[in-house]
Structure 1
Amino acid sequence: MKLQQNIKAFIRPGEQQGYVAECLEISVVTQGETLDEVARNLLEAVSLHLEGEDPAEFGLVANPSLIVTFELQTEYT
């Protein structure tokens, strides 16, 4: 089994306000009021999720990178 180098995540606008971030490979979901805040929260949540764990158990290499995709809504006037 080949271990993945990256954890993929996406950030989308929240239903009421702010933003929601969710990882695809691991069970991590977080939120924040701004893009900066949600990005910081995502890094922290992923670090805490993997802390003390063997990344290989999640199919990941040691110290994987985090790749984030943003979903942004356009507004027409």
Structure 2
Amino acid sequence: MKKYMIFLVSFVLLFSLTQMLSGILLTATYNPDLLETRNISANLSQKVVFGKSSAVPTLILTVLSATIACFIPKILKN
């Protein structure tokens, strides 16, 4: 039970950390489309423009977090 709790806490912390770092990186590198913004404001459209999303980065971060969390109990044991 102790190993499971260490794994669970490690996984949640690592996953949260990677999600926050990913969000910071995406926010820092975001470049809005100024032409699209100008067209929308000129027409006073009610359309909301959203960016593209993909489940692949979340899946990669989940696998990475789970892999690292799996090895943390082994490191703490030594």
- TM, length-normalised to structure 1: 0.33
Relative to its length, the structure with more helix (as a share) is 2
Task: Tell which structure's C-alpha radius of gyration is larger.
Answer: 2
Relative to its length, the structure with more strand (as a share) is 1
- TM, length-normalised to structure 2: 0.32
